[in-house]
Every structure is written in C-alpha cells, then in structure tokens.
Structure 1
Amino acid sequence: MHGNRGEEEQYEILRGYPDLEPILRHGIQYFNNNTQHSSLFTLNEVKRAQRQVVAGLNFRITYSIVQTNCSKENFLFLTPDCKSLWNGDTGECTDNAYIDIQLRIASFSQNCDIYPGKDFVQPPTKICVGCPRDIPTNSPELEETLTHTITKLNAENNATFYFKIDNVKKARVQVVAGKKYFIDFVARETTCSKESNEELTESCETKKLGQSLDCNAEVYVVPWEKKIYPTVNCQPLGMISLMKRPPGFSPFRSSRIGEIKEETTSHLRSCEYKGRPPKAGAEPASEREVS
C-alpha cells in the first residue's frame, strides 16, 4: 500500500462497488492461481471496501468466495459454465491493492481463510467444452490427418529420400470451427528417393539404417468444406537401426530393435512446414491437396 498506512481515518468507506470490478477479478484470479485447492473459486459477496486517495488509489477489500464445479485439471480459468456449489468450500479474502495514475494495479497483496463445506460430495467432473482432449494414437480418425501431415513434410523438406511416419507418440483433438489435431510422432527415412518416385507409396520401406525426425503437427480440419491445413515442426534425431519391415507397414505398429546415434546430417535441420487457410478470395486446398 502507498501513502500513510497508519492513518485509518484517511480511508473512505465505499457504499457502492462499481470501481472494484477489475480489482475483484484480479483477486479471484490471483487466488485460483496461487492456492493448492483442486477447484476454482468465484466471488460470492463483497463485505467491506475502503479507498484512500494518494498518488493514485489504495483499496482494501474484504469479500467472500465459494467453490465452483470447475476443477483446475479441466479449466484454466473461470467460465460461464462454472457454477457455485451450495455445499462446497467457502472462504473470506482481504485484498490490498494500489492503483497507479495510469489506472494499473501496481501493487497487490492478499490474505484468505478457507472453510470446508459441510457434507460436501465432489460433483461429477465438469467437462471443458472446446478444450483439447487426448485420443488413442491408433485411432482410425487420425489416418487421413497423418496422410496429409507426412505429405506436407515430404513436400517442404529438402531431403533426398521420402520420410514416412513410424510411430505416433501422442495425439489430441480440439473442437473449434471444425477440428484441430495436435500430433507428436517420429518420422523415418525410406528407401524411396524423390528423384525416382513422384510420391510416397505404401511400398516404400523404412531404411534399416536411416535418418529419423522427431515431429509435432497441428492439423486444422474443416470437414464440411473438405479442407485440411497441416503445420509440421521437426527436429532431426540420430541414425536409427530398424528391423526390416514389409511394404505398407503401419505407424501404429512400430517396433524398434536398436539405436545407433550419429551426427545429424546438415540437410536435415530443424524445420517448420506450415499450412494456413488461404486469404479471402483465394481457393483453399482441396481434401487431397496440401499447400
């Protein structure tokens, strides 16, 4: 706090609270970010508010908070879906805030007491609509997405041989205006050269001793327009020794028998291959096209 904090009479008791909203919002966010409670809390009632005019403004606010049905595991911050629990934990907080002459919260401190709810039963976990969720790495819905992803990688890297996806490590999907996939995978060099083959085919085998790439992809899918926009980031790994695999080997059935780490070759540097929705008036790539 700024100014003479020992002169309590300099504080003005506020009868209405319209100016407190940004401070209260900051206080609730501060509490949710700095406590170990598994649930998010929301504002219940403002009990007291005082203001002191200095070179800026000092505020001292006491208010009650209440537990919501939104867990921190599924929600990063409060949303309209987060509702107060009548038998949840409650608390009382006192915040001291200094607002500078640019109307910014320049100094903030908080003290809270939490009181356990009576006969509290944990409600069913609230699902975060629109948040990314994990999906199985062998999910059939990934197959077409992976096809576009590896096509994008091969089209824009400068390697002599095609790469194919060897192992999907992690996959998530997020519902947006369409779907956005987040995929972590390993791609490995094949025996098919770009000079001799127009595209990667099922008959292209992974080299027994070949280069590998550690990649992550974001793939935006607009199903009703049959459009797919992949962005791929890759980091080169060492040379990997692999058991011989039959043509058409699926990345969902990876089997590695050993590793030999070598210096990475200069033509396989860290790369990013982007696919973006086209500008207004331009025709985006079709379902089978990759820009």
Structure 2
Amino acid sequence: MRILIINIALLPALLCQARGPVLTSQYDCFGCVHPISTASPDLEPFLRHAIEYFNNDTRSSHLFALKEVKRAEKQMVIGWNYKVTYSIEQTNCSKENFLFLTPDCKFLLNGDIGECVDRAYMDPNRIITSFSQKCDLYPGEDFIPLPTLICRGCPKEIPIDSPELEEPLNHSIAKLNAENNGTFFFKIDTVKRATTQVIAGRKYSIEFLARESTCSKESGKELTEDCEINLLGEILDCNADVIVVPWEDKIYPTVNCQSLGKV
C-alpha cells in the first residue's frame, strides 16, 4: 500500500440552521454542510482537477482514471467547500506516451486501484484556489473489491434520511442532553453519515451536527419539535454509537461531541 498525503488549509467552515433531525433535500443557507448526489454536475470541475492533480503528482508509470464517486459533501461559504470520496484505477495509457487521459485510455485488468478523499475550495468564479488530496493505493492483484467481501458483521452504510435512524437519533440526542452541562437543550441539525452493524443486537454509528436550542433545561420541559435552534448558539460535532437489543427491550447509546464554537 502506498499513501499520498497533501494538505492545504481550506477556508474555515461556517454552519447554519436547518430544520429537522435529518436533512437531505435543499440547503440554501449560508454555511450549511450537506451531502450532494455523486452524479451532480457540480462535481465535474472538482473531479477533473483531482484526477489531473493525482496524475501529475504521482510517480506511477501509467495514468489513473476515475472509477466511482462514493460520497460528496458541499458547503456554501463565500464560494463553495467540497469534500469528495472516490476510487481511481490504473489505465493502459503510459505517461511516456500520453500527457493526459483520452478516450483511448482503458482500465487495466489487474491495474493498481486507489481510494481518495479530497477537499477543495472553489471561489465565486468557480475556480479552485485551495485543494488537498489523500489517496491510498493498492496493487491490483492484492485488492479485493468491497462488494465481493462476505462479512455478515461488517458495518454497512445506510441513507441519512432512513426512517430506521429515527429511534437511534432520538436516543442519541437524549443522551447528549443528559450528559451536557449547558443550560439549553441541543437539537440535531444535520446527519452527515450513518452505518448499521449486526452484533449482539444492532449497532448504529452516526455522525451528526447538533445545535443549541432556545429551550432551557431550567424550564422543566422536555425537548420537543417546538424548540427552535438558536442561530447564535453553540454547535457540536458528534459521533454516536447506539446498540439496540430488541429481545431485551434495551438500548445503549454513547455520544461523544466536540464543540465547534458559536457562529
């Protein structure tokens, strides 16, 4: 395995209000971080830049081409921040004979394979002015594609708007508010990623952003849908593990959060 790491600081991320625990449709607010379709045309200049950057910076004898876009996130700032996870694969086009990819470049049968996570800032003129790339490379003969693996207990990605997440999210935010010493309740703002795993029960691992609400714990009331998010309140970046054991009628949530400060 070969690892290429290039780090360039991106613009500071801002976060903003959104309604409901799981958001996937429209994000028009300034600073919102949200998933976008892996087939979005917005990704075309990003991916073109990323592949060219990789091919120009690596010592591989052959050019690599995009294989699959796996996940993508977008954030509106003064311009746009992107974070994209994708796979690449070695082609039959050698750098000696090809300066860049052409339609004649085809994937090699046992070519090397890479997994990349890239971040970029695109200014209002849609020009990429900041970029970072981290790629793991695997020799083709040693790489086993994930879909061919048989692993009954391995974590599996689930849609962030899945109804299956409603109960784990409710327990996650209840656990967060019980352990947080702040005066106000927190609400889940955006779910970023979620997996499910069969263990002794079912385990949900969820990444989400939580924001301080206008509802005070001192009021004696519980957190409800009527509690509005405080636009000037604290923001938390959280990771939750929720284990559900149906036959015992028990749920075991754990939540770890890091403060992102206040907007």
- Structure 2-normalised TM-score? 0.46
Report which of the two has the higher share of strand. Answer: 2
- Structure 1-normalised TM-score? 0.41
Q: Which has the higher contact order (CA 8 A, sep 6+)?
A: 2
Larger radius of gyration: 1
